[in-house]
Structure 1
């Protein structure tokens, strides 16, 4: 599961805020163009007057060169200014080696005390050091070892912010949340190899992950570090923010493109850390919107799929690779389901690009979780397989047939999820293929059945209310009839609360989604009522529970319960008062209409997934009808769509 999302008012601070590190280059791709609400951000962590911040500010006057370095030639190499800059770079290398060695050393009281003393002595000079780092990268093209400078500075940051014991100390935390530290991290992430034009990665060996990506994840794993990164990203200029986020969006594809042989293992480990960082970025809405605008979902999905296929073609059996890439895939899916505005659309796009095959390759290497672990395929995807666009993407890819041939050697907890995928796919096949010609009544007019034809085939082009766009009619006659009876008051109330009802507005695409949801209700109530449907009492507003209405509840928004989870008591009572709102008179009218014929008509509530925070609640009055000589088929008579 991804971490809780920070839901702040949207704001992107403009170019007039804090000065950005001048060595970052605008190499980002396009960002989302939709308008954002401005965000009032209090940069509390940057204004904290901690001991380290005070000491650092006192040492802010360090003798930097007043202008650019001379052009790189034999004479300029002998220049005192260039020699001094090269000396600083050499010192940064040595400092990085020293502090990283302190982290790598075995833990003991003596070493911990010595390390803390070194950090405390270094703290007053850190701000000045970061100024030299920024200056060095600004003129990196005139220095002898650009890549070595990235290595040295990365080691230095690791030595200052990581702990030998695995848990950051107060000193590590103080170094990690300082704005100058975050700026240095941004500078390192954005560095591009002048020869290859690719972002610089720092693998100590082919089988190890990129130290720079690991450093970023260490920062994100700390609540203070994560808040410091989010705050600083929103404080720097838009150009800098784009450049930093572009380094996160583009780096996975570059890691995979250059990975060969044992380098596949290092790439898999790097992607694990990288996907964790992407998920942490997603906890801030503004930052998530920016990386989505740069194509993070498609690019990361493609990178993961390509790396898995490379390993499959190379017949790589190394367990460390498959454990790492499986975890990376799991974290990425969790981020998409947790933060994407339209998870179903994102999943469908990923599946079309071959991502489901990536899941199939990895699921044989899933580990049984201890507390909250990971394994593939994730159960949270199952409700989205019931969405038409996801089902059709699976069908067109042809990979679901390979999924069915997975063999019988999977662990039980993995096989249980696979059965859930197959069940959802079979249900969708029944709805979208076998029952595609079964009529579905979409008209919102409660008198539609008596005043108009009974199936949708005879209805003209569907119409909607031009004011609220929240109801559907088969004809102008039905629209006028419903307007006079119910919708006049509904429409006024809905327009006053339009943002709340934005997700249920009728559009060309949402009309198909609504029809699919009603078709699913008809299919399940007709073919699989015992497997999915629970009888409950639906509370009536202002009435005690014993005066509630009998109702069938169908939850298709939640994944099936695992056999490892404790059995939940059967749900006996449900209260949809908060969801009904303006629709309450219409719903009560439908409920009252079933009272006289309880044997052949009833009410049902179905829940469908929209995104991680919102569900579709579909109320329907249903009846029994006969089709092809078969009695007992369920048909929707009237329906109401709400989002909650």
Structure 2
């Protein structure tokens, strides 16, 4: 609060053009009753701003608001706050008045306005002339949120002044966090057209201003550690109440629009504060928002769910939900699972054929969603969540008849990917009955025959390897795992802390997926590409790389051995030659960028798999590597050794490595 010189009205600083005398509450109320957008003048503006100076604000903690002259000051200021709303409306259409008003809006004046709004909110003063606290605090908070939004929008100069005011930022947070004694948050759903509640709109205005997110998140994080969690919980509470209170068609439309604006605000704030993002992640914010969207559209009457307005609102909400994941460096797989567990994919499938041909916004968003969903649906937990809901035969028939290329192509790509994943599941189901090779044993010398009833166990210390028997565990311990277990444990703990663990169930599923892809697509791709990509090498000397970071996997080839020219360049140095070939196998280069793998302890195991392929029977061994996304910070490179069994390629072993840079081609 600004320090006052003395508790006297005469201490008000004199500024050019401002009257010294302070009008009485009755005079101010009379001025308010006569004021309109058309008759507002610069003289009125001066009078209003004079009564909103920071030196006039009483210290409530000291009880000054009950003492003279602050009693009269408070009554005058409450009325002037309402007149300020009319002044801002008048400035919108009167250029000269706006220019003159801006000249009077000093930093001190802006601070005074914010302090007086805080005073009015404390007593719930929403009605001019009301001298006692209002029974309806909701009305006060909605009115003052609208006023602050108008003030913030009035001119860039004022927006900038507000953002450097801690009083204003704390006021915005206070209004956002406000709730009744029964825990009800203050929202507004009335209106003839979709528009956000003033409280949600005020926060969005600040978050969308260039300096807004950083300034606002700083004020949130600067408070007690528990406040950020309370801020996150309030966001969800507002979403739940939006859904709960919306009853009519108009309210449902407003609720959907308001929820989208609210989520857009969080997109802006979370991208500017890793600490706030951590808090929201711990609160499982994605699942909360997904539940809000699903619950809201469940309330939309069936006859209106395919209405063009509601179609666009749904796709806007869904797009914003995925935008919340853009900067996610942790828990991204679980977040995709949480989104799709609320039947988002089923909603998209049902609405795709209903998108009007003229609605380019919904068409563009729908195509985008089909592509981003495919990035992580390759993870078993995400796939299972996506497949939980039912899709009617009528919907599938209509999807097959899609004619708009911008929708038809991404839908066919996603449905093709889902088909491939079902093929992988089929392989796993067969292998689970026979003890087949998809249940990977990390003993590279494992010679078990297919048998049912095998129970695979993982290392209890590092959780990074699995075995089909105690005998295989002992063999692998002596050969590899003794030297790698402790470092593997540290790596596992680090990824567990950031919720980016590549689980054994996922590795088994992806191994079966790569096995299926190689048998269905990879062999033909190798036959067509490897001789061009790796001239002079045979198929068993080439690594088939399948990039699964896009809906339609992309196949490429990389040499496992140096070509003749590279060997000549190195010369006869056997040690250097061996080291160069080992490095060639371990390293990856994507789009001219070197990919690094921190798990160097896996090099001996990795080299053994490569050597087995190069030294085995040429027509019976292949290596394939799949690239899978795992958030913005990591990608997983899964190397799988394939053996030919009865004219089909079956996985024999696999190794997963985390990359530290972008995984996509």
Give the alignment's TM-score, normalised by structure 2: 0.72
Alignment map for 1:206-605 (pairs within 5 Å):
207-259=194-246, 260-283=248-271, 284-315=273-304, 319-336=308-325, 338-339=327-328, 341-363=330-352, 364-365=354-355, 367-368=359-360, 375=367, 377-399=369-391, 404-407=396-399, 408-409=401-402, 411-433=404-426, 435-438=428-431, 439=436, 440-449=438-447, 453-455=448-450, 457=452, 459-464=454-459, 466=461, 468-494=462-488, 502=496, 510-529=503-522, 550-560=542-552, 574-575=588-589, 578-579=596-597, 581-596=600-615, 597-605=617-625
Alpha carbons of structure 1 residues 96 and 292: separation in structure 2 relative to 1, 3 Å: farther
Alpha carbons of structure 1 residues 480 and 506: separation in structure 2 relative to 1, 3 Å: farther
Q: RMSD value over aligned CA atoms?
A: 4.1
Asked if 2 retains the 8 angstrom alpha-carbon contact of 1:359 and 1:376, the reply is no
Q: Does 1:620 find its partner at 2:609?
A: no
Structure 1 counterpart of 2:103? 117
Q: Secondary structure of the equivalent of 1:162? A: helix
The structural deviation recorded for 1:327 is 1.1
User: 1:64 pairs with 58, 63, 71, which one?
Assistant: 58
The structural deviation recorded for 1:139 is 3.3
The structural deviation recorded for 1:324 is 3.1
Q: Does 1:637 find its partner at 2:635?
A: no
Alpha carbons of structure 1 residues 99 and 122: separation in structure 2 relative to 1, 3 Å: farther
The structural deviation recorded for 1:369 is 6.1
Structure 1 counterpart of 2:114? 130
| Structure 2 CA distance for aligned equivalents of residues 559 and 127 of structure 1 | 53
Alpha carbons of structure 1 residues 530 and 175: separation in structure 2 relative to 1, 3 Å: farther
Asked if 2 retains the 8 angstrom alpha-carbon contact of 1:99 and 1:159, the reply is yes
Structure 2 counterpart of 1:22? none
| Structure 1 CA distance for aligned equivalents of residues 368 and 500 of structure 2 | 35
Which protein is richer in helix relative to its size?
2
Alignment map for 1:91-106 (pairs within 5 Å):
91-99=80-88, 101-102=90-91, 104-105=92-93
Q: Secondary structure of the equivalent of 1:236? A: coil
Q: Which moved more, 1:473-482 or 1:315-324?
A: 315-324
Alpha carbons of structure 1 residues 401 and 345: separation in structure 2 relative to 1, 3 Å: farther
| Structure 1 CA distance for aligned equivalents of residues 89 and 230 of structure 2 | 27
| Structure 2 CA distance for aligned equivalents of residues 115 and 374 of structure 1 | 46
| Structure 1 CA distance for aligned equivalents of residues 295 and 403 of structure 2 | 23
Asked if 1 retains the 8 angstrom alpha-carbon contact of 2:458 and 2:464, the reply is no
Alignment size in residue pairs: 552
| Structure 1 CA distance for aligned equivalents of residues 445 and 177 of structure 2 | 63
| Structure 2 CA distance for aligned equivalents of residues 300 and 583 of structure 1 | 40
User: 2:79 pairs with 90, 100, 107, which one?
Assistant: 90
| Structure 1 CA distance for aligned equivalents of residues 472 and 322 of structure 2 | 44
Alpha carbons of structure 1 residues 66 and 526: separation in structure 2 relative to 1, 3 Å: closer
| Structure 2 CA distance for aligned equivalents of residues 352 and 639 of structure 1 | 30
Alpha carbons of structure 1 residues 592 and 309: separation in structure 2 relative to 1, 3 Å: same
Q: Does 1:156 find its partner at 2:147?
A: yes
Query: Larger C-alpha radius of gyration, 1 or 2?
Result: 2
Alpha carbons of structure 1 residues 474 and 318: separation in structure 2 relative to 1, 3 Å: closer
Could you list the runs of 5+ residues in structure 1 that have no partner in the other structure? 1-58, 562-567
Alignment map for 1:27-38 (pairs within 5 Å):
none
The structural deviation recorded for 1:133 is 2.7
Q: Secondary structure of the equivalent of 1:278? A: helix
Asked if 2 retains the 8 angstrom alpha-carbon contact of 1:553 and 1:604, the reply is yes
Asked if 2 retains the 8 angstrom alpha-carbon contact of 1:154 and 1:188, the reply is yes
Asked if 2 retains the 8 angstrom alpha-carbon contact of 1:65 and 1:81, the reply is no
The structural deviation recorded for 1:493 is 4.2
Asked if 2 retains the 8 angstrom alpha-carbon contact of 1:347 and 1:390, the reply is yes
Structure 1 counterpart of 2:176? 189
The structural deviation recorded for 1:619 is 1.0
Q: Does 1:608 find its partner at 2:628?
A: yes
Asked if 1 retains the 8 angstrom alpha-carbon contact of 2:331 and 2:498, the reply is no
Q: What's the CA shift string for 1:333-368, capped at 9, x where partnerless? A: 232465373334333344343333333355444854
Alpha carbons of structure 1 residues 350 and 441: separation in structure 2 relative to 1, 3 Å: closer
The structural deviation recorded for 1:138 is 3.0
Higher relative contact order (CA 8 A, sep 6+): 1
Alpha carbons of structure 1 residues 515 and 198: separation in structure 2 relative to 1, 3 Å: same
| Structure 1 CA distance for aligned equivalents of residues 525 and 260 of structure 2 | 37
Alpha carbons of structure 1 residues 147 and 584: separation in structure 2 relative to 1, 3 Å: same
| Structure 2 CA distance for aligned equivalents of residues 482 and 295 of structure 1 | 39
Q: Which moved more, 1:345-354 or 1:425-434?
A: 345-354
Asked if 1 retains the 8 angstrom alpha-carbon contact of 2:340 and 2:385, the reply is yes
Alpha carbons of structure 1 residues 181 and 290: separation in structure 2 relative to 1, 3 Å: same
| Structure 2 CA distance for aligned equivalents of residues 322 and 361 of structure 1 | 10
Q: Secondary structure of the equivalent of 2:262? A: helix
